[in-house]
Amino acid sequence: MSDVNKNIKKVTRHVSQNEGLIFERSSAGKRGYRLPPLDVPEVDAGKVLGAAVRENLGEMPEVSEFEIIRHFTRLSTWNYAIDLGMYPLGSCTMKYNARVNETVVRLDGLANAHPYLPEKMAQGALRVMHELSQALIEITGMDAITLQPAAGAHGEMTGIMLVRAYFEAQGKQRKKILIPDSAHGTNPATAAICGYEVENLRSNAKGMVDINALAEQMNEDVAALMLTNPNTLGVFEEDIHKIADLMHNKGGLLYMDGANMNALVGKARPGDFGVDVMHLNLHKTFSTPHGGGGPGSGPVAIKKHLEPFLPTPVITAKDGRLAFDYDRPKSIGRVKAFYGNFGMHVRALAYILANGPDGLRQTTEDAVLTANYVRKKLEDVYDLPFKSPSMHEVVLSHRLQAQNGVKTGDIAKRLIDYGFHPYTTAFPLIVADHGAIMIEPTESEPKEELDLFIDAMRSIAAEAGSNPEIILNAPHTARVERMDEVTANRKPILRWKPAADAGKP
């Protein structure tokens, strides 16, 4: 073991508390709450509810407040997080989540605002949404925006529905959406949900849209192209101009997946290069925390010609006061109750203010610089399947290591031993043999951390030659080893049961 770890500079093993399931701590009579006395007569639930009354809450736990603190504190220590170290998940933009954002979002007036407050009581919240909308419109170069979608995929759906509505309004719906083979899975899934056929568009050798293929495939049946730019290889589509023209000339629309906006903010604007509709991920580019799987926020920005179709309500300013406009006959309707993930709007606006115009540009420049630095330092030991210039992320492949049976997923597990969260594995799919090693450092990483990461990746590359076994059996230093996912899939255990053997760790 110790020699398995001799090259590891970044981490050391330390005691980590074990902890069972909360249900295994539960016992009758423990309580983590204390209610104030009731100031009205207590009713007899049986009388009030009759047959609808509930007698007991089954296996819900009974634990003390202190046990809850311990339980979740211990659990938390089993997680890796940005706060602990570099989190180079490509396409996820794991940047620093500023604490001031967490402070302002918890201000009483914002945190405890009911969505149905009379508008005159909600001006503060409306202002937040209005200011954020203005800022995002400026950053994207688009004409209008909706903050309603709850995440990127939700934004995609909203955007594609706007596309549909646009063609409906013209009285001639189209059948297909073109999607490059490098696209994220949410793109085709979204197109399908919106009732479109998905047609695959193959990338060229440079990892970019193949203009000729596009020219062939584009016709009056195609509603839109869903393009990610920079694409999932971190490569800017240099023919973006031709792409937009090809689409527009045939009456089609250009949708842009804005997941990679961290490469463009303050440097280039989709609205300027022909995009008709796009979504943003506030939980990526605009630093709202990922929270172990959300919440996110996926605003959709559009050009004028799509504005009539925006989801309701839309914020409008009349005589100095902001208000919601519900009267939009051509709207696609709501995509979510209320107004979107407002808490994320507050955080994103705080991020934008903390940076300012120059700070936003600087951020993008640093993000692109760190990615290129990592590329430069690794391209001699890892295969670079597409040589086009990288922007905010670099996609390598496991081709060289695979010769020793070491795959991208194995290298990822070994990175854990080296004290890092792995990069994104096996995506994008256009990298041969599902061998993608997709690295996005973000602007947040200091050089010291990048150098440790580079050192770890190079060291693993060396191990792939000298001792592949170490890698194939990794991780060795975490509190658990590789999980049996096959059984998990074959015989799913999706909830705790009192009968079930607890098998405490």
Partner 1 sequence: MLDAVGARNIDDLFSHIPAEYRLKGDLHGPRQMGEAEIVDYFKGFAGDMSAGYSIMLGAGSYYHYRPVVIDSLISRGEFFTAYTPYQAEISQGTLQAIFEFQTMICELTGMEVANASLYDGSTGIAEAVMMAIRITGRSSTVIARSVHPEYREVLRTYAQHQGMPIAETAFLETGRVDLKALDAAITDETACVVIQSPNFFGTIEDVAAVADIAHKKGALLIVSIAEALSLGIVKPPVEADIVTMEAQSFGVPLGYGGPYVGVLATREKFVRQMPGRLVGQTTDRQGKRGFVLTLSTREQHIRREKATSNICTNQGLVALMATIYMCIYGREGLKELAKQNLSKAAYAVGEFKKSAKILFDGAPRFNEFVVQTPGAAKQINDKLLDQKIIGGLPLNRYYPELGNSAVWCCTELVAKAQIDAAAQAVGK
Ligand X SMILES: Cc1ncc(COP(=O)(O)O)c(C=O)c1O
- Which of a second copy, ligand X, partner 1, none interacts with 459 (beta carbon under 5 to 8 A by kind)? none
Output the smallest distance, CB 139 to ligand X, in A: 18
Is 203 among the residues that bind ligand X (CB under 6 A)?
A: no
Closest CA to 406 of 377, 435, 439, 442: 435
Is 209 among the residues that bind ligand X (CB under 6 A)?
A: no
Closest CA to 351 of 265, 439, 279, 269: 265
Tokens 């609205």: give the residue.
Answer: 271
Q: How many CB atoms lie within 10 A of CB 455?
A: 16
* Nearest-angstrom CA–CA distance, 342 and 348: 10
Closest CA to 124 of 416, 288, 345, 341: 345
Tokens of 226: 């869903």
Q: How many CB atoms lie within 10 A of CB 63?
A: 17
Taking CB under 8 A as the rule, which mask of x and - marks residues 103-122 in contact with partner 1?
xxxxxxxxxxxxxxxx--xx
Tokens 């492949």: give the residue.
Answer: 397
- Which of partner 1, a second copy, ligand X, none interacts with 228 (beta carbon under 5 to 8 A by kind)? ligand X
Radius of gyration of the chain (CA): 26
Output the smallest distance, CB 397 to partner 1, in A: 18
Query: What does the CA dihedral 388, 260, 335, 186 come to, rounded to 10 degrees?
Result: 50
Q: Is the Cβ of residue 419 or residue 428 nearer to ligand X in the bound state?
A: 428
User: Checking DSSP bridges between strand 424-425 and strand 436-439, what pairing results, if any?
Assistant: antiparallel
- Which of partner 1, ligand X, a second copy, none interacts with 448 (beta carbon under 5 to 8 A by kind)? a second copy
Tokens 């296996």: give the residue.
Answer: 59
Q: Is the Cβ of residue 215 or residue 478 nearer to a second copy in the bound state?
A: 478
Binding site for a second copy (CB under 8 A): 1, 9-18, 25, 30, 34, 64-67, 69-70, 73-74, 77-78, 80, 83-85, 96, 98-99, 354, 416-417, 419, 444, 446, 448, 477-479, 505
* Nearest-angstrom CA–CA distance, 407 and 401: 7
Is 80 among the residues that bind partner 1 (CB under 8 A)?
A: yes
User: Checking DSSP bridges between strand 314-318 and strand 424-425, what pairing results, if any?
Assistant: unpaired
- Which of ligand X, a second copy, partner 1, none interacts with 217 (beta carbon under 5 to 8 A by kind)? none
Tokens of 448: 């010291």
Q: Is the Cβ of residue 96 or residue 496 nearer to a second copy in the bound state?
A: 96
Q: Quick one: which segment of 151-159, 346-354, 358-366, 435-443 binds ligand X (CB under 6 A)?
A: 151-159
Three-class SS state of 330: coil
Tokens of 4: 């398995």
Among 95, 164, 184, 290, the residue binding ligand X under the rule CB under 6 A is 184
- Which of a second copy, partner 1, ligand X, none interacts with 110 (beta carbon under 5 to 8 A by kind)? partner 1
Tokens 């620093």: give the residue.
Answer: 96
Burial class for 12, CB neighbours closer than 10 Å (0-12, 13-18, 19+): exposed
- Which of a second copy, ligand X, partner 1, none interacts with 71 (beta carbon under 5 to 8 A by kind)? partner 1
CB 254 within 8 A of CB 243: yes
Q: Which of the 8 DSSP states describes residue 404?
A: T
- Which of ligand X, partner 1, a second copy, none interacts with 219 (beta carbon under 5 to 8 A by kind)? none
Beta sheet of 436-439, edge-to-edge order: 394-397, 436-439, 424-425
Q: Is the Cβ of residue 37 or residue 58 nearer to a second copy in the bound state?
A: 37
State which of positions 2-61 bind partner 1 (CB under 8 A).
15, 19, 21-23, 26, 31-43, 45, 48-54, 56-61
Q: Which residues contact 257 (CB under 8 A, 6 or more apart)?
A: 152, 156, 183, 184, 187, 226, 227, 228, 229, 278, 279
Taking CB under 8 A as the rule, which mask of x and - marks residues 270-309 in contact with partner 1?
--xx-------x-x-----xxxxxxxxx------------
- Which of a second copy, partner 1, ligand X, none interacts with 444 (beta carbon under 5 to 8 A by kind)? a second copy
State which of positions 55-114 bind ligand X (CB under 6 A).
91-92
- Which of a second copy, partner 1, ligand X, none interacts with 404 (beta carbon under 5 to 8 A by kind)? none
CB 144 within 8 A of CB 305: no
Tokens 């584009």: give the residue.
Answer: 218
Among 133, 186, 287, 388, the residue binding ligand X under the rule CB under 6 A is 186
- Is the peptide bond preceding residue 270 cis, with omega within 30 degrees of 0? no
- Which of a second copy, partner 1, ligand X, none interacts with 45 (beta carbon under 5 to 8 A by kind)? partner 1
DSSP secondary structure string, 377-403?
HHTTTSB-S--SPPSS-EEEESHHHHT
Output the smallest distance, CB 26 to partner 1, in A: 7
Among 88, 180, 252, 296, the residue binding ligand X under the rule CB under 6 A is 296
State which of positions 228-267 bind partner 1 (CB under 8 A).
236, 238, 240-241, 266-267
- Which of a second copy, partner 1, ligand X, none interacts with 499 (beta carbon under 5 to 8 A by kind)? none
Q: Is the Cβ of residue 312 or residue 362 nearer to a second copy in the bound state?
A: 362
Q: Quick one: which segment of 147-155, 372-380, 382-390, 467-475 binds ligand X (CB under 6 A)?
A: 147-155
Q: Is the Cβ of residue 82 or residue 214 nearer to partner 1 in the bound state?
A: 82
Tokens 């393009």: give the residue.
Answer: 227
Q: Is the Cβ of residue 80 or residue 251 nearer to partner 1 in the bound state?
A: 80
Please give the residue ranges that form the binding site for ligand X (CB under 6 A). Answer: 91-92, 151-153, 184, 186, 228, 232, 257, 259, 281, 296, 298
